[in-house]
Amino acid sequence: MSESLAEILVLAFLAYAGIGILVAIPFVFVVVNRVDGAARGAPIGFRVLILPGCVGLWPFIAFRWLGRRQAP
Amino acid sequence: MTNQYTWVSWNRHKKAYDLVLAGACIGFLAIFVGLGFLASGPDAPDPMVMLIRATGTLSVVLLHVILCIGPLARLSPRWLPLLYNRRHLGVTMFLFGLAHAGLVILYYHGFGITNPLVSPLVNTNRSGIGFEMYGLAALAILFVMAATSHDFWLHTLTPRLWKTLHMLVYAAYGLLVLHVAFGAMQSELHIAYPTLLGIGIAIVSTLHLVAGLKETGRDRSALEANGTWVDVGEIGEIAEDRAKVVCVKGDERVAVFKHGGKLSAVSNVCEHQMGPLGEGKIVDGCITCPWHGYQYRPEDGCSPPPFTEKIATYELRIENGRVLLNPEAKPRGTRIEPAPVPSEPEASSG
Amino acid sequence: MADRERDEFYVGYLGLPAGHRAWLRMSVPAILWGLCAVAAVISLAMRPSGGGVWDTSQTVTIEGNFEASPYPLVRTPDGRSFILVEPGKIPLRSGLESFVGSRVRVEGFELRRDDRRIIELLPGEKGITDVGDSDAEPATLRALGERTLAGEIVDYKCFLGAMKPGDGLTHRACAVLCIQGGIPPALVEKTPTGDRYYLLVDPSGSRANGIVLEHVGVPVEVTGELFEAGGLHYLAIGRDSIR
């Protein structure tokens, strides 16, 4: 793999992760309470535990945030 | 069962499980590193290299244990206590894999003229795909699995998508086998390495094969009785507070439970992680799943309040001492009056 | 089966039935002992990582004539040659050409393996200082004819002790990074009487770092012109000299 392609890939990965953090933090501490009733009143340990997944799967989380429901 | 999320629903079992797991990991690392230094003397690897090897080896060994638990639990309920808290094993395995990768990036790809995140992509692939890439791909899969190990993700992704995602563990396993075979086993030439890896693959494959054969054997189709009803079997075949499982319409499994002198039929599939309800037992008047203890009332397939899970129910009839089932599932949570078991001997009929 | 009569049923949040407990008491320790055995076998079966030593407990100071080509080194009066490297995997500092034709004092950490020695320079001015004019001519290259040699291409710093092991496929990526950073590549030939080292140069006699990157860390056969100078052996190769 050429160095320039590798640099692009690493930058893309870091950008994805960066956006993920920006989406996940408000979601995990605030928005999830609205979107999933079982999250209301949940302890901080729960929010920390789902944070990595929210960062990694942030497109999915953003989808939920925007209010589109998944078919049960 | 969750009506409110917590981070870990601790109980005595999970604490014992995690304690044993922690001890096993620390012990493994200590033996690996300690014996390695003792045996090699001045020819020993760098401490960092030793740690890279120890964390990587532990990670792969843990994955073998994890993969054996599933089929073992299908073969005998004695193994269910190991299944119960398996996700902690999985997350632990990922964390050691992450540590391994982190140390590799720091030590082998640091201190040079190239960014340590860029170097692994460039300097491992100079002559074809480097073995490190298989490890990286496996780590990505295992990250997604570890990050979605909480019940929140089970609901958010829906159980079917979640289960499909977590089946990627087999892809991760294959990638790790390639990672070891094309990497460490090219540098370390002792016969012990391919032997151990071969034994590991053989054990995992054999267990899956045997459990798989047992499962297909279980899909005994119910016999057609008359019109819409299928014959489940004799009333006496079903033990008190237990069930008989039959297969209808090709692949749909139904569990027929006996409780308090009555019979009820529900879907065999638990809403939580699709566990085999028919292998469960009625506890406190509720059908209890053998995997994680989720409960459903036999008469309507609903979880007792405050829980909200629901499963499909089926109509039953009793005729001439035999149990007949209408294979058309009713919507989840439909109440169906349990069929009373006649108190006369089965021989007398109308 | 006995457990059917008792009809034991395990649920995680209730107690452990006696039958399950008895089974776990047997099976879990067996699994743990198995893990211990696996750890022991894998650990004991590791190959030796070689005799390289990186002495970071003290610095050494060497005085001798500086030579820049093909790889910068210091040649002491007793005829020994010390190749120079920087800390880490980075190129040698700029401005070393100014030391050509001079006697220098170098200070740093010594890496040694077999009879090979290299010096990792201390950062800054202390690493290398001019102490006068060179008192000998640069060593002349003696041509020894064409050779085909089998071995492995390594980077001269890790293999001599900066990393253990400094060879093999698992170390390859690091070796490539080191060679890219300017550390001399060398072919290591294993013979019954010990390892032989051949620093690799290109046909014009200068650095071969760019040529070898695809062939590092794996068994190779290299054909080239063999030279000797100041106790060091050099192999001059082209791009297609390596199989």
Nearest-angstrom CA–CA distance, C139 and C230: 6
User: How many contacts does A have with B, using Cβ atoms within 8 A?
Assistant: 79
**Residue C38 or B341, more confident:** C38
ipTM: 0.92
Strand C232-236 and strand C194-201: the pairing is parallel
Do C155 and C230 belong to one domain?
A: yes
* First-residue to last-residue Cα distance in chain C: 66
Cβ distance B339 to B262 under 8 Å?
yes
Q: Is the pLDDT score of B134 beyond 50?
A: yes
| Whole-number pLDDT of residue B344 | 57
Structure tokens at B70: 């599933």
- Per-residue pLDDT of B20-65, as tens digits, reads 999 999 999 999 999 999 998 888 999 999 999 999 999 999 999 9
Residues 145-164 of C with CB under 8 A from B: 163-164
Asked which of C133, C168, C193 is the last residue of a domain, the reply is C133
Contacts of B9 in chain C (CB under 8 A): 13
Check residue C229 and report its DSSP letter: E
| Whole-number pLDDT of residue A68 | 56
Cβ distance B287 to B301 under 8 Å?
no
Do C148 and C127 belong to one domain?
A: no
Do C231 and C147 belong to one domain?
A: yes
- Cis bond upstream, residue B338 (ω within 30): no
CA distance B36 to chain A (A): 35
| Whole-number pLDDT of residue A71 | 41
CA distance C240 to chain B (A): 14
- Per-residue pLDDT of B53-96, as tens digits, reads 999 999 999 999 999 999 999 999 899 999 989 999 999 999 99
| Whole-number pLDDT of residue B94 | 98
Nearest-angstrom CA–CA distance, B66 and B200: 12
C117 shares contact with chain B (CB less than 8 Å): no
Contacts of C10 in chain B (CB under 8 A): 77, 80-81, 84, 290
Choose the closest CB to A53 out of B117, B121, B148: B148
Range of the domain at A29: 3-70
Contact B121 A1 (CB under 8 A): yes
C180 shares contact with chain B (CB less than 8 Å): yes
A7 shares contact with chain B (CB less than 8 Å): yes
Contact A1 B158 (CB under 8 A): no
Contact B290 C9 (CB under 8 A): yes
Strand residues in C125-241 grouped as ranges (E): 128-133, 142-155, 185-191, 194-201, 219-229, 232-236
Cβ distance C52 to C112 under 8 Å?
yes
Query: How many domains are there within chain C?
Result: 2
Choose the closest CB to B192 out of C41, C87, C173: C41
Which residue out of B66, B89, B113, B121 would a mutagenesis test of the C interface target, given it has the greatest number of C Cβ atoms within 10 Å?
A: B113
- Per-residue pLDDT of B179-210, as tens digits, reads 999 999 999 999 999 999 999 999 999 999 99
CA distance A23 to chain B (A): 16
For residue B348, what pLDDT band results from cuts at 50, 70 and 90? very low
Helices vs strands, H then E, count in chain A:
4, 0
Do C191 and C220 belong to one domain?
A: yes
| Whole-number pLDDT of residue C2 | 46
Mapping DSSP to helix (H, G, I), strand (E, B) and coil, where does residue C62 land? Answer: strand
The one-letter amino acid code at B53 reads R
B220 shares contact with chain A (CB less than 8 Å): no
Asked which of C102, C133, C164 is the last residue of a domain, the reply is C133
For residue C185, what pLDDT band results from cuts at 50, 70 and 90? very high
Range of the domain at C149: 142-236
Q: What is the DSSP string of A15-62?
A: HHHHHHHHHHHHIIIIIHHHH-GGGTT--HHHHHHHHHHHHHTHHHHH
Residues with Cβ < 8 Å from C42, sequence gap 6 or more?
A: B32, B57, B192, B193, B196
Q: Look at B128-142, B245-259, C95-109 and tell me which has the smallest mean pLDDT.
A: B245-259
pTM of structure = 0.90
Nearest-angstrom CA–CA distance, C191 and C212: 22
| Whole-number pLDDT of residue C79 | 85
Q: Which of C136, C133, C67 is nearest to C100 (CA)?
A: C67
Mapping DSSP to helix (H, G, I), strand (E, B) and coil, where does residue B340 land? Answer: strand
| Whole-number pLDDT of residue B274 | 87
> Which contiguous run of DSSP H or E holds residue B132?
helix B131-147
Q: Is C76 a member of any domain?
A: yes
Do C219 and C156 belong to one domain?
A: yes
> Which contiguous run of DSSP H or E holds residue C36?
helix C18-44
Q: Is C155 a member of any domain?
A: yes
Do C153 and C127 belong to one domain?
A: no
Among all residues of chain B, which has the CA nearest to that of C19? B78
Residues 26-65 of A with CB under 8 A from B: 32, 36, 38-43, 45-46, 48-50, 52-53, 55-57, 60, 64
B88 shares contact with chain A (CB less than 8 Å): no
Nearest-angstrom CA–CA distance, C32 and B25: 10
Contact B6 A48 (CB under 8 A): no
Q: Is C205 a member of any domain?
A: yes
As a whole number, mean pLDDT of residues C57-67 equals 93
Residues with Cβ < 8 Å from B49, sequence gap 6 or more?
A: B107, C49, C163, C164, C165
Cβ distance B102 to B120 under 8 Å?
no
Contacts of C36 in chain B (CB under 8 A): 27-28, 31
Contacts of B81 in chain C (CB under 8 A): 10, 12, 16, 20, 24
Choose the closest CB to A3 out of B2, B118, B156: B118
Which residue out of A33, A34, A50 would a mutagenesis test of the B interface target, given it has the greatest number of B Cβ atoms within 10 Å?
A: A50
Q: Which of C22, C26, C20, C19 is nearest to C2 (CA)?
A: C19
Contact B5 A38 (CB under 8 A): yes
- Per-residue pLDDT of B222-267, as tens digits, reads 566 567 888 888 999 899 999 999 888 767 899 999 999 999 999 9
- When the pLDDT of each residue in chain B is averaged and rounded to a whole number, the result is 90
Cβ distance C242 to C220 under 8 Å?
yes
For residue C137, what pLDDT band results from cuts at 50, 70 and 90? confident
Do C61 and C127 belong to one domain?
A: yes
CA distance A71 to chain B (A): 8
Instruction: Look up the CATH number of the domain holding residue C82.
Output: 2.40.50.140
Binding partners of C (≥3 Cβ pairs within 8 A) = B
Binding partners of B (≥3 Cβ pairs within 8 A) = A, C
Q: Is C206 a member of any domain?
A: yes
Do C109 and C147 belong to one domain?
A: no
B3 shares contact with chain A (CB less than 8 Å): yes
Structure tokens at C120: 């990792």
Q: What is the CA radius of gyration of chain A?
A: 15
Q: What is the DSSP string of B71-119?
A: HHHHH-GGGHHHHHTHHHHHHHHHHHHHHHHHHHHHHHSSSSSS-TTTH
| Whole-number pLDDT of residue A44 | 87
Nearest-angstrom CA–CA distance, C19 and C27: 12
Asked which of C133, C168, C190 is the last residue of a domain, the reply is C133
For C170-187, b where at least 16 C-beta lie within 10 A, e where not — what string? bbbbbbbbbbbbbbbbbb
As a whole number, mean pLDDT of residues C73-90 equals 92
Among all residues of chain C, which has the CA nearest to that of B80? C10
Q: Look at B229-238, B265-274, C6-15, C199-208 and tell me which has the smallest mean pLDDT.
A: C6-15
Q: Is C229 a member of any domain?
A: yes
| Residues in chain A where the model's pLDDT stays below 70 | 68-72
| Whole-number pLDDT of residue B222 | 59
For B206-234, b where at least 16 C-beta lie within 10 A, e where not — what string? ebbeeeeeeeeeeeeebeebeeebbbbbe
Instruction: Identify which of A34-43, B167-176, C115-124, C194-203 has the greatest average pLDDT.
Output: B167-176
Bridge partners of residue B164, in order along the sequence = none
Do C150 and C114 belong to one domain?
A: no
| Whole-number pLDDT of residue B292 | 87
C38 shares contact with chain B (CB less than 8 Å): yes
Nearest-angstrom CA–CA distance, C53 and C70: 25
Do C73 and C148 belong to one domain?
A: no
Q: Which of C98, C99, C109 is nearest to C64 (CA)?
A: C99
| Whole-number pLDDT of residue B224 | 60
Nearest-angstrom CA–CA distance, B339 and B342: 9
Q: Is C38 a member of any domain?
A: no
Do C129 and C93 belong to one domain?
A: yes
| Whole-number pLDDT of residue C9 | 85
The one-letter amino acid code at B199 reads I
Nearest-angstrom CA–CA distance, C227 and C91: 25
Residues with Cβ < 8 Å from B159, sequence gap 6 or more?
A: B271, B272, B273, B274
Instruction: Identify which of C17-26, C95-104, C172-181 has the greatest average pLDDT.
Output: C172-181
Do C128 and C149 belong to one domain?
A: no
